[in-house]
Structure formats: structure tokens, C-alpha cells
Structure 1
């Protein structure tokens, strides 16, 4: 005796073909959107912006850490300046500015 559960009617076959055509049409539409030049350019722009944002974020964190580390060298936990560290740096800065001023004055004179 033949198993009749695997036998499909012509209407079932046509409905299956129709569903498969619709799925194929949707897939082709999606592929068309993905390979469209505007989509490719838009995706590339979004990726570049994301990479720039990520790079800028990492740079900000690095700079912020460096500033915090430098600040910790010159300011104590309470926010008061550490004179034993500030004064030598200030003296060196004043000396450099003075040397630059003398060098500029000698070239002009």
C-alpha cells in the first residue's frame, strides 16, 4: 500500500512555488539594496565615523589620564599645590623664557 501523506495536490505544489518565488523576490530585493552604490557608500561612511569616534574616544581617555597623572605630580589629594615640585618647574620655565627673550633681542640688535 502506498503512503499518501507524501502526495501533494497540484494546488499545494502551486502554493509552494508561489511562496518560494516570494521568498526569492524578497532575497533579490535585499541583495539589490545591499549592493546599491548609495548603500555601500553609506555603510563605508558609517564605518569611518565609527572608527574615528572610537579613535577619538581612546585619545581622549589617554590625554585625560596623562593630564591627571601630571596634575597628581603638582597637586596633593586636597588640591593644594606641591611647592617642592612646582617651584623648580616654574624656575626652569622662567629661565627658558628669559633665554628665548635674550636670543631674540640679540638677533634683532
Structure 2
């Protein structure tokens, strides 16, 4: 015949109750720690920092790619400037700066 749980001694029952109380106390401590405002704020901060780091990393990669693309337009594979592209851009920049300078000079008079 199989033994039933009724055959336990009072000491065994008390030990089982003690173990269950300890497990329950640990569980309640874990729940308390998880719902504590400092824990929640810490978790949110960590998530925000992670998202910002991820966003900054993606932005860095995109900016780096854009700079490389622009550089490739003005420098050849050997690293020498492509004068056919650099000179027109330099002239355009000088012209725009000159227009701003003339406009500023006229406003001052």
C-alpha cells in the first residue's frame, strides 16, 4: 500500500512549513526589490542609456559613411585631391564668403 502524506510526523510537517516560509520570504523580498522605486528608476535609466548608446552608435556609423562618401568625391584612391572637383567648390566657397563680406560691409556704411 502507498503511503499518504498523513503519515508524516509533526516534526516533518513543521520542517516543511519552515522551508515553505523561507521560500515565501525570499520570494516576497525579490518582489519588494523589483517594485522598489529605486529599482524601477535604475531599470528605466539603464534602458534609456542603452537606447541612447544604440542611437548614437547608429548616428556615428551614418555620419562616418557620409564623410567617407564626401571624401571619396574629392580624393582619389591614392589620396591625391581631385582638382577637377576641389577647384570649383573652393571658388564657390570663396564667392559665397565674398558676398557675405560685401553685404556686411554695405550694411555698416
Structure 1 length as normaliser, TM-score?
0.89
- 1:50 is aligned to 2:50: yes
Offset at residue 18 of structure 1 (A): 2.1
Residue pairs, 1:3-42, within 5 angstroms = 3-4=2-3, 6-7=4-5, 8-10=7-9, 11-42=11-42
* Matches of 2:82 and 2:14, distance apart in 1: 87
Offset at residue 15 of structure 1 (A): 2.6
Q: RMSD across aligned C-alpha pairs, in angstroms?
A: 1.3
Aligned length: 107
* Matches of 1:62 and 1:101, distance apart in 2: 34
Unaligned segments of structure 2, at least 5 residues: none
1:44-97 per-residue CA deviation (whole Å, 9 max, x = no partner) reads: 111111111111111111111100110000001111000111111011101101
- 1:93 is aligned to 2:80: no
* Matches of 2:80 and 2:14, distance apart in 1: 85
* Matches of 1:76 and 1:91, distance apart in 2: 20
Offset at residue 3 of structure 1 (A): 1.7
Unaligned segments of structure 1, at least 5 residues: none
Structure 2 length as normaliser, TM-score?
0.89
Determine the structure 2 residue equivalent to 1:77.
Answer: 77
